[in-house]
Amino acid sequence: MPSDDQFTLITADRVIDARGGLPLERGAVLMEGSKIAAVGRAEDVRAPEGAAVAVSDYPGCTILPGMVDCHTHHNGFGDGRLGDDLALLPDEVLTLQSARNARVSLYSGVTTIRENGPKNATMFRLRDSIDAGLTIGPRMVLCGRPVAIIGGHMGYFGGEATGPIETRALTRQLIKEGADYIKIVATGGTTRTSFPTLPSFNVDELRAVTDEARKFGKLTATHSASLAGIANSLDAGVDMIIHCYYRERDGSDNFREDIAERIGQQGAFVNPTLQVSRATAWELAHKREAQGLSADERAQLDEARANLEVRLEHTRRMIEMGLKVITGSDSSWSSYRLGNTVYETELLVHAGYTPMQGILSVTSRAAAALDMADKVGTLEPGKEADVLVVRGNPARDIDDLWNVADVFFAGRKLERGSDESLAAVRQPRAQGV
């Protein structure tokens, strides 16, 4: 039952406040209403004398900030269908599916999301519904719909524009409707009528968006599935490069250190989206076990594996160069389902982050990437009381982020449902991928 106590005091074997230091052994977090009141050693943190306080101890556990996922697609199902097909569904159905995804994601410990590509106003309506108390979900940083070219990737979501006047106008329209940031599609992608290795917008069109967004204090992020898209994005001064494929026009992979250096110089964040390839590979590997694969599917499996290897290597180099690489899952794109954000963080650890750096990539650094660092992402007095408790120590083994004991959202402990329903959310790994 939700507690009506004014204060909640939780203690555990350790607290990771995600400010960059070592875990605090035998730590405590005190929440007052929806905010964090104090963080420290268990013997030092106390509710005021005589205050109503709910106390819980979590032996063998770690307390850390709720996770921040910088890249979601709440409209989707994560069942392999393309965005083209998703966009054929009515907005009402997409909004209901988004509500289901939002709940699943929140229960997995994700307390803030940035949505990267819904159709029309579906996510604005979901946020309205959450604000009205009809349903629950994480804090949401919304783009409305992506800014795309005619026939380009994600144009089917309702945000096509041509020329700098139209891209500027669409930016104003999205801000009028309630957009918190602007998502731009700078290259093609999986959309059938798009060209993944070619740029979509010209630089003047991109610059009109980034100028206008900056004027209103909004961040920008570009889907960039090729080198030309990354270069154009940097010319336009975007704040985050998504996917960040070092891929030439002819489809060959080529890690361009000069481009990576520019990303670093401009201070742009990078969201590599690694798990989305692995999820496809897992799906196909499971199918191979169950019923075998066609020649086409075998080729897809080989391609997904090869792509993952290349992308891991490129991400490793970006991490070594000190670029600001953060966690953004890209679920439910392709076969990657909401509620599985931890797989993306795990792959960033494979690519070279320490487990603690992995934790920061999905908490404080992710919050900084969304310009939310004053509200969420660390455990500090005055911040929102979005708090995750996991069994084990994720600073030693990042997989312990899966072992959620409790999630507190705005100071309230969530009733997350049965162990069976929670376990069913996690997508199974596949052998040999």
**Six-digit token pair at 160?**
């096509």
Stretches 33-41, 114-122, 156-164, 168-176: which one binds Zn ion (CB under 5 A)? Answer: 114-122
Q: CA torsion sign, 284 to 285 to 291 to 293? A: positive
Choice between 269 and 333, CB closer to Zn ion: 333
Beta-carbon contacts of residue 381 (< 8 Å; ≥ 6 apart): 35, 36, 37, 38, 39
Sheet of 67-72, strand order:
67-72, 110-115, 139-141
How many residues touch Zn ion under the rule CB under 5 A: the total is 3
Distance CA 353, CA 342 (A): 14
CB of 244 to Zn ion, least distance (A): 12
Choice between 329 and 364, CB closer to Zn ion: 329
Choice between 116 and 220, CB closer to Zn ion: 116
Choice between 243 and 413, CB closer to Zn ion: 243
Spatial CA neighbour of 255 closest among 302, 326, 315, 185: 315
CB of 103 to Zn ion, least distance (A): 20
CB of 121 to Zn ion, least distance (A): 19
Choice between 242 and 385, CB closer to Zn ion: 242
According to CB under 5 A, which residues from 306 to 365 bind Zn ion?
330, 333
Beta-carbon contacts of residue 325 (< 8 Å; ≥ 6 apart): 269, 270, 271, 272, 315, 318, 319, 348, 351, 353, 361
Choice between 116 and 191, CB closer to Zn ion: 116
CB of 293 to Zn ion, least distance (A): 26
CB of 327 to Zn ion, least distance (A): 13
Stretches 11-19, 111-119, 202-210, 245-253: which one binds Zn ion (CB under 5 A)? Answer: 111-119
Q: Are 73 and 116 in contact (CB under 8 A)?
A: yes
Residue 241, classed as helix, strand or coil, is: strand
State yes or no: residue 116 binds Zn ion (CB under 5 A).
yes
CB of 183 to Zn ion, least distance (A): 9
Residue 27 has φ and ψ, to the nearest 5°, of -105, 170
Residues that bind Zn ion (CB under 5 A): 116, 330, 333
